[in-house]
Structures are given as structure tokens and as C-alpha cells.
Structure 1
């Protein structure tokens, strides 16, 4: 056993203090990024936007301080807003080893129990394993295996839209049907018992991830407050939401396993991953990873597709000239009565540009966490800072997209009507670096086939008012405090474009 005299211990202690002091001094040689003046203890608690459309408030804040990187703090939490694609790329992609973790949400991760899935998981071995599962099952080269499922559910949606009195409800229903099939191989009527749970569970995640929605995320000690205590309604919510989480995670996965054992499973993310398990390693541990990766895909593929399609339909309603041009492109490629197939996508470049940039679904990218002190552009980025790229600002940058608030799909095309590679694409809408959505190609395919099919079948027109006149074309967006950008419920008419399409879908437009 080693023995140290008092002098040696004192020298060791002083050396440690000196090293720590020098590290602190070196880090403080650099200022924090600009931002609002901070109050003692509270920091910028009262400067953080809380009135909805928070991404627009952050744009104004960056303009005020003339910086594409600003700093706020609140109750000891350090927050960095990135307002340009350069800053986001420099940090989240070029320095991804430092910037690929996730901040912990007490409400979402601990109390509701979503801390094990890839979306919320820190940059650890479990997250990496789940990421590999997702990448292997829905890689760009393997997306084609899901095309039949995407086309089948799209045709069902087309039939539903003909008589829809609640567009967003129907979009939600048919998107969840598709994602349940892709994720677990559970199809049609068999999927119905799982759909309600999935829709409700995803809605709770949307609420729980809203900045400032729950005080427990700022004051973590509140998680120990008992349910009966006044003001502890969040604990009761968390218990109820945890039950939804469990049902959404366990029930469809169990069905997939049972069908695989019976030899009746259809190809799905879960079945593919289960087939690829290494039988020489811990089976139970691998199954838990696949279960978490599967529910991650289920969550990630629902709201985003619903909101994007709803935003597209609203954009067509508000921009009839763009709708007409898109349909002319379809008519040049498709024979009368034909419906779009994926093989036609290269011949429809205008259709490819109808979604993503103008109204991004997640205007503030899901937060990253930096795991070490860093210096960027002469500013200190403190360890454990929450990093939030402003995707809205990036996709509305005037230098990249002149007249950025104009809905103009032609901006992405060259003089010959082909995709112009010199124009920045909508990549930032799918995240950055190691946290880029692994299902991007699958999501893009689902969006494209639905948009092309809707425009092939229908002309999107305003409702008729009580006087027999066309109702006012109006687009309104949910103003509440949320991470998602989605339109308020709206109504329109889906007018069949031809009897040939009616015959193709084997339906009656009445």
C-alpha cells in the first residue's frame, strides 16, 4: 500500500488546484457569445421566448446582437442558438464528436420514461447500437422494399380524402397505418388497436418537448414532489403518459415477434432487425435495443409526415397557380388514368420541390448537447450547453433563398426545369451531423408519393360558403408554445380531376 506524507499530499493538492484553475482561466479567456444581459441566478429566464413562434423571436434576437450565434442562460442552464447553416455545420457536423449528445428532459426522459430511445438518448453505446439498427433497416439502398406499402396506404388515403371532413385527422390516421406497417408489419384492420395508442402517445411527446411547458425541467428537484401535492399535476400526467409509452413500445413489438415465430410476419423494420440478431450474443439485450429503435422510428415518422402533407395541401389551396403548374408536369408524364409510381420521380422535378423549405415542421432543431468546453469564432461554448439550430432561419436565409417568404418551388430548378445543384437543398430540415434523421430517405419517399398522387387525383379548392360563393382562402398556424410548426385545422374541397382516376382507384366520387 502506498503511503504519502503530509508534504506530498499538500503538493498533490496544490497541483490539482493549479491545473483546475488554469483550465478555468483558459476557458474564461474567451467571452460567451452575445445575448441579453443576465440577471443573478435567474440569468435570461425572462428573455426566453414563451409566446409561440419562438423561432421568429430568436431570429430577431440574433439580428439585435448582430450575430449568428447567441447565448442565453436560465437557472444554470446554458443555451446556444445557431442562426446560420455555417455555424450549425461547423459545430454539429465538423465537430460532431462534441456536439452529438442530447440534453436530459426530466419530464420526458425520467418521469414519462422515454429516456431509452434514440431520439432522446445521449451519445453513448446504446444510442449508437440503436442508430445502427435503424440505418441497416431503412438505409437509402433498402428503402425500395417499403415502396409497395407506401403506395397501398397512399391509395387508401386518396379514397378517404374524397369524403374528408377533417383533413388532419385523416392524414394522421393513414400515416399511422403506414408507419405501423413499415415498423412492425401490422397492416390494415389489424393495425387499428395500435393506432389510437400511437397517436395519443406521440401527442404527449409533442407536449412534453415544448420548451418551458414543465417547471420540473428547470427545477429537477420537483420530480420528488408527490402526486397529491398542490401543483403536482405534471406527476399525474407523467404516470398516465408512461402507460401510453409502455403500450406503444411493447404491444406491436410483441405481435411482430409472435408472427415471426409462426412464420407469418411481413417485412418490417422490427422483423428485419430481429432476423439480423447475432445469436452468439445476449438475445434479450439485442431485443431491447430493437424494441427501442422500432418505437423511435414509429415516433419519428408520424407527426412529421402528417404536418408536412397538411402544410402542402394548405400551400396548394393558397397558391392555385403553383398547383396548376405541378399538375401540368404530372399530366405530361402520366397517361390518363395512371397514378404515380416511384420510377417516375426523376421525371417530376417540380413535384420534388413542393415541401420542406417554406414551412419546416421542426423550426428549431431538436436540441443537441455539447459535452466539452469549446471555442468557436472567438466565443466560449460552455460544456453541457443546450445547442439549438434555428432551422427556420436557415431555410429562410435571403442569400440562399431570395424572397425567402415566397412559396416558390421554381427557385430549386434551372432554366431547363431540372434541379439546380447550386441552390441549397432542404437538408437542414432533417437535422445535423450524427443526429440527422436516419429515416430521411424513407420519409422523403412517403411524402413524394402522397403529394404526387394527391395532385394527380384532385384539384384542391376552397369550400363553398352558405351563399354559394368560394370561401376565403386562409392559412393560419398554431400560435402556441411548441417545437412543431403546424397549421390550424382547415377545410377545402378535393375535386376529382378525371373519371379515369376514379376507375383507377375503383371508387365513386359523390
Structure 2
């Protein structure tokens, strides 16, 4: 402990010396205590509210320092665009966390990797298979699983969370590995849920405190998570290898890349990269899809007038004799706007994965030391009343009248909604596939279901207050609702998908 404090103080003094030399102050923030600095200002839960309060008090930049480690919260889109996009060379790195990398095994994930040649190789491979021009080949799988989701919701809507998790897993396992998961108690889902359990804790801006002062119980838990993380990456990959040997493998991200290996050098390294990228696909896609669709159901419950307007649009374009198709999307601007507003209203990753400053920098008259953890505060940016009037309200009309009819396919870094997908060179490379999956699910649910308030034992509507989990991925807390077919024709459409 004494050695740790000495090293931390030494780091603090070096940074302080550089600040004096450059005659620049640190960005604003709460006054640190001696030795421990701003340790008590690092939120352990309800992070969005805590950092929103700091942003209200200190502005677009908030600087915290604890035990010699610095964290900078970037609270405006303009500042985030300048740092992460225009100065991306300096703000694309990651802090290496002994907890997440060494103890929990996430060092294979290029989302957690340092900004170096290894990261670029992984990112390039992932992008090649999930970029906008390739994403349409996955639409049949996404359509099939959206219909399967409807059937499950028809029979037991009260199991919403389970059905959404099964849906996300089915799409990702089908696209990535060509594996069809079991209807219940699927072992791949069980492994992945365990693996993802600790990722949110290890990736939060306060996680470095656990790295500096790890408690024995957390370290024991991390070792359990590591076993699940390695199994999540390795087991489905082994399944594809065995199926390829037997000639039974379905086309997928993994099988397609493995089939291209014959003409490549360094085959062993290429196989490891494929396995790593495939493992990241589940980790990146599953939780974000579940969070977005749960938020969608919640806002349809809270804003019945939005639901009615979307259903009117769907009835006019699609009719009531079939389910929506991807080809209908350009003709459904209000449904597209609902998806965009869901992403803004409850961003999946309110603080994302923190970046790191590679070198000392000056911004807006402030000194940002090398090694500073730099957090894009997406929650604040997407709830900034200067950009989004009445930000706590769900208003899809914010996104109406756009040239691209509201889709996310042309979401550029200059678009403020892009904050929902990360920043700069760490922008989400799988967003096109994820966008399509969420859209077909939203359009399908709206076309055949009414989402209403649940009733108590006396037949009175149960009011719902939107509340959310803490951690890197933000989910709505469980809430009561009713979901019923809009008509007998809607019920028949859902049942008919079983044989389609």
C-alpha cells in the first residue's frame, strides 16, 4: 500500500509540474482531498445522474483525480467531436485494466485493446464483415428471429427479458457462427450471460479504483468470470471448426473467414484474430440489443399516443395482412424516428468505454495530462437541452423530415445522435447490423401488438416510473405491462410465421 501511494503521489507531482511549466490549469472539477483526491466523487451507482450533476456545476469538461489517476468527463458534443474526432490520434487509446484484462480475460476484445497494430488488425477484420455494404446478407436471419420473437411474446409476454435475450443471442450466434440455439436453456446463452455479468463493472470510469485497491472477494469473482469469458469465446468457435471438418457448417462470419485462410500467411495468428473478433460480436451486440428493445417497450407504455401514431403509419404502408419487411423501411419515417429517439432517450452505454489521452494536450485553455482516462458523457450529450428541448420527454418528431428518412445508415460523426455509438476511431463497427435487427423487431412488434398498462388486483392501471440499472450498459428496471395482439388477424400472422 505504501509503495502504491508513493507511485501515485509521484505521478501526481509530475503532472502538477507540467501544469506549472505550461502555465495551464487542469479542467474544472470538484476540489480534491489530500492523498485520495476525488475518490469520493467517482460514482459507484446511478452514474448518469451523478455526472449530470457535475456537468451542471462545472460545464463541458469535468476533471477528477484519485490516487494519481486522472479522469476527464466530456459533456458536450462540440468538445467530444474536437477531442475524439479531430484529435483522434491522441484520444483513441484505452487504459489497460489489470482487473478486466488479466483477471477477467477481456484482453482478447479489440474494444478493450490499446490503440496499436493489433487493435487495427482486429478492427479491420470486424469492419470488413459488418460494414454497411455487407450487412444486408444478414437480413434473412434477422427477419426470421424477429418473427420468432413475436411468437414467444404472443405466448408469454411477461417473460419479455428472457425473450429479448434469446432473440439477441439467436441472431448473433446465427450470423457469427451459423449456430441455431436451443429454444430453452441454451448453453451458449448461459455461458455468455455469466461472461457479461462482470464486464459492466470492470469497464466503468470508477473501475480503476478496484484495480488500485482490489478486494479479495472481487478478485475471486473475477476468476469465475474469466472462465465464462474464455468459454464464450472458445466453445462456439470449436463447434464451427468441428462442423467444417464434417462438412455441415453453415455460412457465417467465422466459416467464411476460415475458408479464406488457405492463401494466407501466418495462419495461426489469423485464426486467433477470427476467434477474437467472433467472441467480441456477442459481447458487443447482445446487451445493447436487449437494452434498446426493453427501452422501446417501456416508452410505448409511457407514451401511448406515440404507439398509436406509429401503428397508423404501419397500417397505411404495410397493411394488416402481412408483417413489415426491410423493404418498407424507407416508407416508415415515424417508425424510424422512434428508433432514433429510443437511442437518444436511454443511450445503451451512457458513458461508453473510456478512451485515454496518449500524450499531454491543451484544450480550451486547459491542460490534459497523458494517461488521463477520457469519458464521452453520452447521457449528458444526448440530454443537453440546448440541442434537445425537453430532453427527458420521448419525442420522435425530433427526427422527422430528415433527408435519409430517419434511418441510421448515414449517421455521420457530425450527427449528434452518433454519440449513442461511441466516438472517433472507436465508433461502433457493428452498428449497421445492430440497427437492422432492432428496427425489424420494433416495426414487427408495433404492427401486431398493443402495449398497455397492467392492472392491479382491483382492475386499476398500474403507473410505471422509468428507472434504470447502473453500470456500463443501462437497462430499464423491470416494469409491469400488458402486451396483446391488436386483432385476430394479427394473431394469425404471428402463428403463420412458424412455417415460413
1:35 maps to 29
Q: Does 1:498 align with 2:484?
A: no
Q: Measure how far apart 1:181 and its partner are.
A: 1.1
8 Å CA contact retained: 1:137, 1:272 = no
Aligned position for 1:407: 394
Question: Which of 404, 407, 417 is the matching residue for 1:426?
Answer: 417
Tell me the residue number matched to 2:430: 439
Q: Is the Cα contact below 8 Å between 2:19 and 2:26 reproduced in 1?
A: no
Q: Alpha-carbon deviations, 1:179-215, whole Å to 9, x = none?
A: 1111111014399221111122112212333444685
Q: Is contact 1:106–1:216 with CA below 8 Å preserved after alignment? A: no
Q: Give the match's secondary structure for 1:99.
A: coil
In structure 2, C-alpha distance between the alignment counterparts of 1:424 and 1:133, rounded to whole Å: 26
Indicate the residue corresponding to 2:371 in structure 1. 384
More displaced stretch, 108-117 vs 466-475: 466-475
1:26 deviates by: 7.9
1:434-492 alpha-carbon deviations (Å, 9 max, x no partner)? 100000111111110000000011000122221233332443323x4x22321111232
2:72 aligned counterpart, secondary structure: strand
Q: 1:27 to 1:259 in 2, by over 3 A?
A: farther
Shift of 1:366: 1.2
Q: C-alpha displacement at 1:292, in angstroms? A: 0.8
Q: 1: CA distance between counterparts of 2:19 and 2:294?
A: 52
Structure with larger Rg:
1
C-alpha distance 381-214 of structure 1, shift in aligned 2 (>3 A):
closer
Q: Does 1:147 align with 2:134?
A: no
Counterparts of residues 232-251 of structure 1 (less than 5 Å): 232-251=216-235
Contact between 2:464 and 2:480, CA under 8 Å: does it hold in 1? no
Which structure 2 residues correspond to residues 320-331 of structure 1 after superposition, within 5 A?
320-331=304-315
Pairing partner for 2:41 from 38, 42, 47: 47
Q: Is it true that 1:173 corresponds to 2:166 in the alignment?
A: yes
User: Is the contact between residue 176 and residue 199 of structure 1 (CA under 8 Å) also seen in structure 2?
Assistant: no
Match of 2:473?
Answer: 484
Aligned to 1:7: none
Instruction: State the secondary structure of the residue aligned to 1:104.
Output: coil
Aligned length: 474
Where 1:404 maps in the other structure, the secondary structure is: coil
Q: 1:340 aligns with which of 324, 328, 343?
A: 324
Aligned-partner SS, 1:407:
coil
> After alignment, is 33-42 or 67-76 more displaced?
33-42
Is structure 2 residue 286 aligned with structure 1 residue 317? Answer: no
Aligned to 1:264: 248
Q: Secondary structure at the match of 1:380?
A: strand
1:196 is matched with which residue: 190, 196, 200? 190
Q: Which string of whole-angstrom CA distances, capped at 9 and with x for unpartnered residues, describes residues 95-128 of structure 1?
A: 1111111112221111111112111111111111
Contact 2:142 2:440 in 1 (8 A): yes
Q: For residues 415 and 61 of structure 1, do their structure 2 counterparts lie closer, same or farther at Cα, with a shift above 3 Å needed? A: closer
> CA–CA distance in 2 between the matches of 1:280 and 1:427?
36
Instruction: Please list the CA deviations of residues 227-261 of structure 1 after superposition, one character each: whole Å capped at 9, or x if unmatched.
Output: xxxx5112221221111111111100111122223
Kindly indicate whether residue 284 of structure 2 is the aligned counterpart of residue 300 of structure 1: yes
- Name structure 2 gaps, 5 residues minimum: 1-13
3-state DSSP class of the match of 2:169? helix
SS at match of 2:475: coil
Q: Contact (CA 8 Å) 1:138, 1:439: kept in 2 or not?
A: yes
Matches of 2:496 and 2:452, distance apart in 1: 20
Matched, 1:471 2:462: yes
Structure 2 counterpart of 1:87, from 76, 79, 87: 79
Correspondence for 1:457:
448
TM-score (norm 2): 0.89
Structure 1 residues 144, 75: closer, same or farther in 2, change over 3 A? same
Matches within 5 A, 1:189-228: 189=182, 192-212=186-206, 215-219=209-213, 222=214
Report the Cα distance in structure 1 between the residues aligned to 2:77 and 2:159, rounded to whole angstroms.
37
Distance in structure 2 (CA, Å) of the matches to 1:406 and 1:282:
53
Question: In structure 2, do the counterparts of structure 1 residues 381 and 277 end up closer, same or farther at CA, with 3 Å as the change threshold?
Answer: farther
Could you tell me whether the CA contact under 8 Å between 1:366 and 1:388 is conserved in 2? yes
Q: Which residue number in structure 1 is paired with residue 348 of structure 2?
A: 361
Query: After superposition, what is the alpha-carbon deviation per residue over 1:69-90, rounded to whole angstroms, capped at 9, x for unaligned?
Result: 1211011111111000111110
